[in-house]
Structure 1
Amino acid sequence: MATAERRDPYRAFNFLLQIDGIPLGGFSEASGLTAEGDAVDYREGSDKQSNVRKLVGLRKYANITLKRGYTQDTSLWDWYIKIRNGVPDRRNVTIVLMNEARTPVLRWHAENVWINKIEGPSFKASGNEVAIESVELVHEGLIIEPGS
């Protein structure tokens, strides 16, 4: 009797971020990899069925939220300032999931991305947490593909 190969799920902490193909690692959290659509109710007057049909409607993509520990790297703030000043600086963003050997296994590509919101850290004199910055990315499409 042949034994089935064991397939463990991938760990959520092994990921990196690329903006326009340039690795920009060091993120502690990435969320919002969501794609959904609207169903459209439709019925013709000559339909013999008394129920509506469901048609595929417009696709929607959730905003992607990224969080990372603060460093002296201001590239995300610089990108946000361009958007704020009216410069149409849209980029392509890829989030790469890696296995335990740090080999890419899956990639999520977001297209025509721009920063909608950027948030600096919260400060607390009695705490010892890492200062975290957060960005919210708006995009127009999400594609998943194998990593290798």
Structure 2
Amino acid sequence: MAEDGSAQSASIWPLPKFHFQVKWDDTELAFQEVSGLDIETEPLEYRAGNNPVFSTSKMPGMIKSGNITMKKGVFAKDNAIFDWFNEIKMNTITRKALTISLLDEAQAPTMVWKVQNAFPVKVIGTDLKAEGNEVAVESIEIAHEGFVIENA
């Protein structure tokens, strides 16, 4: 008799990436796409002058993270992205806590990225095309000071 898969553990399958939730502060916004959840360290090279090995040692240096880009459909009277961007005044901006959650079938978070001190650096409105039939999409690019990953 063939195996129907019912005895398999759910933990052997990778998580799908199409079911997610984005919140900033207590507001939930529906985004179509989130990208830029990357973090890296810059390697430092060092060699002592009396080291008999003629090569450098590498050590981890400063941690840096890229900007997060989020895209969403344009809705009538929904200006939340532009309202946040318009709060920028001469080195003052409301920094917000940003939470991005990958959800399972029961809408429970399975993986959560908690972004620290996020603020907008770029907003891109939709492009307009007379012959197109696509949905209008706007995007926001967010700078931040790192994030923490939590697994539920």
Is the TM value for this pair above 0.5? yes
**CA distance in 2 between partners of 1:4 and 1:81 (Å):** 51
Over aligned residues, Cα RMSD in angstroms?
A: 1.6
Deviation at 1:101, TM superposition (A): 2.1
- Structure 1 residue ranges (4+ consecutive) displaced by more than 3 angstroms after TM superposition: none
Structure 2: give runs of 5+ residues left out of the alignment. Answer: 1-6
- % identical aligned pairs: 35
Matched, 1:51 2:26: no
Deviation at 1:115, TM superposition (A): 0.3
| Structure 1 counterpart SS, 2:14 | coil
How do residues 100-111 of structure 1 correspond to structure 2 at under 5 angstroms?
A: 100-111=105-116
What is the one-letter code of the residue matched to 1:121? T
Structure 1: give runs of 5+ residues left out of the alignment. Answer: none
Matched, 1:14 2:19: yes
For the 8 Å contact 1:16–1:23, the answer to whether it is kept is no
TM-score, normalization: structure 2? 0.87
Match of 2:43 in 1: 39
CA offset digits 1:36-62 (Å, max 9, x no partner): 011000011122322211111111101
- Matched positions, count: 144
Match of 1:97 in 2: 102
TM-score, normalization: structure 1? 0.90
How do residues 1-148 of structure 1 correspond to structure 2 at under 5 angstroms?
A: 5-6=9-10, 7-20=12-25, 22-71=26-75, 72-84=77-89, 86-147=91-152
Against the structure 1 CA distance between its residues 11 and 23, is the aligned structure 2 distance closer, same or farther, given a 3 Å change threshold? farther
